Structure formats: structure tokens, C-alpha cells
Amino acid sequence: MLALIVTQLAITPSTTLAATNLAAGKAITASSANSGFAATNANDSNLTTYWESNNNAFPQSIRVDLGSASSINQVVLKLPATWGARTQTLSVLGSTNDTSYTTIVASAAYVFDPTSANTVTINFTATSTRYVRVNITANSGWTAGQLAEFEIYGATAPTTLPGKLEAESYTTMSGIQTETTSDTGGGQNVGFTDTGDWLDYSVNVQSAGTYTVGFRVASPNTGSQLQLRNYAGTVLTTVTVPNTVGWQTWTTVNANVTLTAGTQTLRVYVSNTGFNINWLNFSTSATPTPTPTATPTTRSAFTQIEAESFNSQVGIQTETSSEAGLNVGFVDNGDYLVFNSINFGSGAISFDARVASAATGGNIEVRLDSLTGTLAGTCAIVGTGGWQTWITKTCSMSSISGVHNLYLKFTGGAGNLFNLNWFKFAATSPTPTPTPPPAGHDVVGKVFAGYQGWFNATGDGSPNGGWIHWSKNSSAPTANSNVNFELYPDTREYTTLYSTNLANFGNGTQAKLFSSYDQSTVNKHFEWMQTYNISGAALQRFGADLSDTPNNWKTNRDSVAVKVKNAAETYNRKFYVMYDITDMNASTWVAAVKHDWTTNIVNTMHLTTSSAYAKESGEPVVCIWGIGFTDRPGTAAEATDLINWFKNQGIYVIGGVPNYWRTGTNDSKTGFIDVYKSMDMVSPWSVGRFGGLAGVDNNNTNQWQPDYTFTQQNGMAYQPVLWPGSAWSNLQNGNAPRNENPRFHGDFMWRMAYDLKSGGISTGYVAMFDEYDEGTAIAKIAENSSMIPTNQYFLTLDADGVAVSSDFYLRLTGDINRLFNNQLPLTANHPTTHQ
């Protein structure tokens, strides 16, 4: 048994101290730090930032100066919660003068496991020291020392008995959480108890004898039990917690115990799950604890409701807020809060939420009376730059009236989404919430995917009025004669689909397809980008011209662009415009792009003023794809004119350039090197330029790595293109091989990411998100023959002999983004599971 008065070392990854982190805000230094991963990241209360030492240079150390000698008995070490498991070998040392150090905890291997929030807790005999140092000699997940948070805790004075023990004043615990209580006196209670959880309390019993202990408890369950144990593990009493009908409907259960005199540890042990506890009151048997009467109340929706005052929750925790009190944190996709008996009066139509996020944010679904009840509205939360950097987000709601149990459901991508401090409703329409300042880098250090958005179907309301890109003409796809795409999408999540002339799937499902013209389709795609950790989309823009005369094709194209803007804003993804100059008029292409940008992109659709439009160092981003290709229009002088025109307006210019741009050979025109050097970023097109794993390695050796060196020497950014594989036999009427560039169940694209990261490259462009035509899509794809029509060939994801899920390439792309951001270790084999 672990006690506060510790007699031996105990390592308990799920144990937490109730005391204050003594390292918070203190001076922290390290033996070394890799660029961008300073020691100060390890005590900034932000789990998404971390310290990393120089690579391949063990041993390494990190040290905190507490400012004065302090009694400590616990060190807590954390890594980002989304990282994979790893083992670090380390020791803990202390010093009073920062010169002579003594060992507090000898070197041992500690496992950081995401199932325990990647947290290691090291408890030891209380010792007085000013400087605390952790020495790291090995790390199975990376070739460096790594810590996201380095926390230090100290011993607390024992509570004198007889007297009251507040439940949340434990010295150590396992498994529980705290929440705001509605009981008399306010404060916190302990909750979310499961069988086997426990809390330890340091007490000083004034005299030996029999005491009456009043346990202040609440539970809607029958049969819950707790035990009070002494430091030796002996059960002093077992208490059955009655069913009080509610988690905040309190009663006091009394029991007698016999205690020895002196300082000791008492443990509350959960022997049968499902109750809350507010306090324990120890008195002599002659003075039993009185039992107050709980009074149920309703709360007004129009006054500020603290997030931590929930009645129940799933998945979240509370923490100290920089705005005083507590906030709700550690919010993941699918977590939720419940607030009982909220009175909305005659009607509420807007919702204010005080939020903060060092990640990319997520959504709050406001639901009534159950987790699947009426959806009053969804509030999209953006990243604010820090877990304690607060903004008030205001969102419209459908009118809510009367008294309801309020459910706040949180949705978003992987990892912690945002913190919530408080919320309230209003009976008036909201004013727009100011958008926080843009981050410095929306593209550099990120992974974007190209987005075509070019599919249409008869009946979708598009001015095109027929089937576009799915078929070779405007008629519905028909087997063996009118099919233009290689990969059949997994259509199970789309709300709107259109019937084809193809036979039913192997599983009997009718063969239908989506349209990019539907907002619901674009929303689904950007929802996937958010869910799977893809930074955003490069919206392909074809056919810029000098005419403002409307036509069906341009109207369709511009409508989809606005829908992309809407979806990116809703799902907190970034997007930028990517001009494709293929087939443009060689005499007018520069003027056409300038005209389209000014007239349509900026002044009509207002894309660049969207909060979701990508900016690099504060400048809106544009990509011009096709400059310098041997089969695309444009001279060096024309390209330079267009690039300078954009840059003179404060636009960040990416060039979609040939794979052999640097040498001016093969697919690149000669005499363009100065054009390429004038770009802010180059993105060489590698699709189809190689095949197989050996081809990836060869391109890395001869193109990517020399390219990267060249860009660094010339002050340019570098965005290489990754692709999963490709094939276009249907598009080429059978005149091209089936499965021409195999995906090798993810090994092909992961090898690209591995080679790039090995050479220090951490920015990427994936071709493409929705390119079902030429077989490069990463969006959800038919897994096997049961998900495609029975009378037409389509390439399925099991073609390489390994079954993978339809979302595998979305998950793989998200893991590549994590790899590039040092959230995954560099491994030759991809960590993404096939299913």
C-alpha cells in the first residue's frame, strides 16, 4: 500500500497528488535542446509542447530550480497524450547548491503508455532539496530525452483528528476525479469512482480510541460500498452507500472505527463502484455528525454556468484555470457533460462558451435531455494558441424553452480538443465572435491534401446538369462503356447519393455515387480531414479566363469553392487556392489568373478573408501548379511576372513545379531556375515519376534530399508531394495497366514519409484527397468486391493481398502529419493498423 508517509519507493502511473505542482513557473534548464523543443516547454502546462534533447547524444538531463529548499515526495513526468508508447530509462537527483547532486531515485526503465495518458508518477521518501534533476540515458521511442511536462509535488501537513477531512484533500489517489458539489458549503467532491479506486489521507490522531466517522455520500445506484482502511491495509469499517436518487443528493452515513494515536495514513477504498463522496467527519462517539437535507434546484440558462459544475460527465477532467477556479479539460472526441434542470424560460437562441485550445479545436453539440436528444445547435471551436488562452465563442441556436437536462457533447479529431471554462445562453441573436490571430505557419510543417471537388451527378442541382468526371459523357456511369474512374468510393456515410446504371454491389447494395456540388458531401470530406488529422486542402482551380460572362461550368466551379470555404470554417481546417494552368491559353494565361484572382477569388467570393483561408507568416497563400513543365504554357518571363504580381500584394506563392525542376531536365523546361528561386515554396510533382519502394528511395536520394538542400541554401520552403499509388485503366479505356503503381497496403506512401523525415523534411502535400479518376484518392474507398458493382472492374483496397479498412489512407495520412510534427517515432514500418 502506498502511503503519504512513504517508507519505500513506489511507481504508480495512475496515481495523482492533490497538491500544487511546485515546478510550475520555475526556472528550468536542460543539458541540450533540439531546435524548437526548448526545456521551458516542459513546465508550460501545455501537453502539446515538449522538450527534446539533442538526438543520438545520451545521457541527457533536465533540471528545475524550485527557488528554495522544499520538501518533495513525488515527480510526475508526462509526454503528449497522443504519442505511442515508449520506455525511457531515467533517474531522479536532488541538490541544495546545483553543484553536488545526490540520487533520490535510482535509474530504472519507465513506460509511458497512452492508456495511462503517457504519464509516469514516481513516489519516494520525502526529501528536502532545491534543485531537482532527471537524468535520461535511453528512450525506446526516439534517440533523445523527451518530456512534455516535468511536475514536482511536496508533502502536506497531516489533518488533525477529530475533525473533518474534505474528500478532495487526499494526498494520493488512484482512478478518481473531482467535480463541483451542490452540497452545503460548496467546493469540490470526489466522484467517478470505480471498484478498486482509492484515496489516501495523512492524519494525526490526537488520542487512541473509538471515533464516529460521518461519510458524506451521494449515489443514484444501489449496492455501492466503501471501506476505510489503515496504513497496514486492515479494514476498519465497511459502509454501504444508500441510493440517494442523484449524484448531488447528499446524505451522511455514520460508522464507528477504532484508531491508534499519532501520524498515519488512512485509505478510502472503493469496494463496489458508483458513488460520490464530499467529506469524512471524525468525532467522538458522543457527538455524531448531523445530516443536512438536500434541496433540488433548477439553474437559469441565462446566467454564467461554470463548466466544472456538471452533474455527470464522460471522459473529461477538471484543472486549475488561469481565470481563477477550475475549468474542464482533457476533452476528447465523444466526451460529454450533463447539467440537470437548466431553465431556458421562454426561449434561448444563442450560446456563449468560454474556450481555449492549443490544438485545432473541435465542436460542441448542444443537445436536450439525452446524448442523442434534440440538437439545438453546434458550436465550432477554433485553436486559440494555448490551453489557457481564452476566448468567448458565440454561436446561434434553435430556440430552446422550458426546463431541460442539458448535454454538451464534444466532437473533433484525435487527441485533446479544447478546454471549457463556462457557458451561458442568451435570448438575443449573437454578435460574431472575433477570430483569434492567425498562427504563424498554416502550411509549413503541415500536411495538406489536394482537393478536386469536381464530381457531378444528374439531379444534384448543379448548372452542369449531368454526370461529370464519374463518366465519359454526361450520362450516368454504365458498365464497360461509360466509366471514367478507377476507385469506387465507400459511400456509406454520405447523406445524398445518385443512382448509376451499374449493377448492385457484391453485397447487394444499389450502386450510387456522391456529387461534389452538395454541401453535405463537402462537409463530410472536411469532417474527415478534421477527424483524421489532415491540416487542410489545396482547392484545385481550373480554367481561369478573362471573361466575366457566366457559364454553367464556371458557376458550378465557383459554387463548390464557396462550399469548401463553408466546410473549412465549420470543421476548423485550412484551405488555399491552387491554380492548375493545364490547357490554358498560352497567350493570355497570366492575365487570366490575375483577373480571376482579383474579380472572383478576392472581390466576389471573398475566399481570402475567410478565417479558414491558409496564411503563411500572415500572408494569404496561393499555389500556381504547372509552371516550368514542358507540356504546360508559359515562358520564364511570364511566370516571373505572375509570381511578382502576387508577391507585391503580400501573397505567399507556392509553385507546383516539375519533379526535375532543380536540374531543368526531363519534365522541366530549361532556363527556369531563377523562376523557381523566386517562389516562396516549391512543391515538385512526383506522381507517376517512380514506382515501388526502391523507386521511392531512388527519388529521395536524387531529388528530394538535394532539392531540400537547395531550398535551404536559397531561403525557400519545400513541400514534396506524397501519393498512395495510382492507376487509370478505366479512364484510358483499358489501354493502361490495372493497379499500375500499387499501394502495397500503405508501405509505398509511408516509405516516402520515412525517407523525407529521415532527411529533416516535415512539410508535405498529398495527391490527392478525392482523385478517384486516376486512383490516387485517400478519401474512403471500397475495401473489396463486396463494395463495388458486380459488372464493372474497379481497383479495391485489397488488390495487394492485404485487407485494409476504407479509411486506412486517411489514418495513414494523419499519422504522417504526426510523424512530421514529432508526435510519432521515426520507424521504417508504418504504425497505422490496416483495420
Return the closest-CA partner of residue 728 out of 793, 684, 813, 799: 793
CB of 342 closer than 8 Å to CB of 299 = yes
Return the closest-CA partner of residue 673 out of 622, 730, 725, 716: 716
CB contact burial 292-306 (16+ within 10 A = b; e otherwise): eebeeeebebeeebb
Domain ranges of the chain: 10-153, 159-284, 299-426, 447-820
φ, ψ dihedrals at 457, nearest 5°? -145, 150
State the helix-helix crossing angle for 519-531 and 552-570, rounded to 10 degrees.
40
Q: How far apart are the C-alpha atoms of 136 and 144, rounded to whole Å?
A: 8
DSSP reduced 3-state for 259: strand
Over the chain (835 residues), the average pLDDT of each successive run of 10 is 28 42 88 87 87 91 87 88 89 92 93 87 83 95 92 78 86 76 82 85 87 89 88 85 84 87 87 89 58 56 89 79 84 87 88 88 90 87 83 84 92 86 78 43 95 97 94 95 97 96 96 97 97 96 88 92 96 97 95 96 95 94 97 96 96 98 95 97 97 94 94 94 97 93 96 95 97 98 97 96 95 96 90 93
Q: What is the pLDDT of residue 637?
A: 96
Q: Which residue bears the cell 463502484?
A: 273
Topology of domain 447-820, per CATH? Answer: TIM Barrel (3.20.20)
Return the closest-CA partner of residue 214 out of 166, 271, 182: 166
* Reduced 3-state DSSP string for 172-205: EEECCEEEECCCCCCCEEEECCCCCCEEEEEEEE
Q: Are strands 336-343 and 447-451 parallel, antiparallel or unpaired?
A: unpaired
* Reduced 3-state DSSP string for 813-832: HHHHHHHHCCCCCCCCCCCC
Q: What is the pLDDT of residue 437?
A: 36
CB of 200 closer than 8 Å to CB of 190 = no
DSSP state for residue 789 in the 8-state scheme: B
10 Å Cβ neighbour count for 118? 23
Q: What is the pLDDT of residue 155?
A: 63
DSSP H/E element including 278: strand 276-284
Which residues 6+ apart lie within 8 Å of 695 measured at CB? none
Q: What is the pLDDT of residue 68?
A: 75
Q: How far apart are the C-alpha atoms of 72 and 616, rounded to whole Å?
A: 45
Residue ranges with strand state E in 358-508: 362-368, 374-381, 386-400, 403-411, 419-426, 447-451, 498-499
Q: How far apart are the C-alpha atoms of 732 and 483, rounded to whole Å?
A: 10
Return the closest-CA partner of residue 133 out of 156, 88, 102: 102
What dihedral do alpha carbons 622, 625, 629, 635 form, nearest 10°? -40
CB contact burial 213-252 (16+ within 10 A = b; e otherwise): bbbbbbbbeeebbbbbbbbeeeebeebebbbbebbbbbbb
Topology of domain 159-284, per CATH? Answer: Jelly Rolls (2.60.120)
Q: What is the pLDDT of residue 293?
A: 36
Q: What is the pLDDT of residue 40?
A: 92
Same fold, 159-284 and 299-426: yes
- C-beta pairs of 26-31 under 8 Å, 24+ apart in sequence: 26/64, 26/65, 26/66, 26/67, 27/64, 27/65, 27/67, 28/62, 28/63, 28/64, 28/65, 28/150, 29/62, 29/63, 29/65, 30/60, 30/61, 30/62, 30/63, 30/145, 31/59, 31/60, 31/61, 31/62
Write out the three cell numbers for 97.
547548491
Q: What is the pLDDT of residue 72?
A: 83
DSSP state for residue 719 in the 8-state scheme: -
Widest Cα–Cα separation across the chain: 101
Q: What is the pLDDT of residue 638?
A: 97
For residue 607, CA distances in Å to 27, 539, 546 come to 45, 11, 19
10-153: CATH class? mainly beta
10 Å Cβ neighbour count for 724? 28
Tell me which CATH code domain 299-426 carries: 2.60.120.260
Q: Are strands 721-722 and 764-766 parallel, antiparallel or unpaired?
A: parallel
CB of 53 closer than 8 Å to CB of 136 = yes
CB of 227 closer than 8 Å to CB of 196 = no
Write out the three cell numbers for 511.
450502386
DSSP state for residue 491 in the 8-state scheme: -
Q: How far apart are the C-alpha atoms of 576 and 599, rounded to whole Å?
A: 16
10 Å Cβ neighbour count for 388? 19
φ, ψ dihedrals at 8, nearest 5°? -150, 165
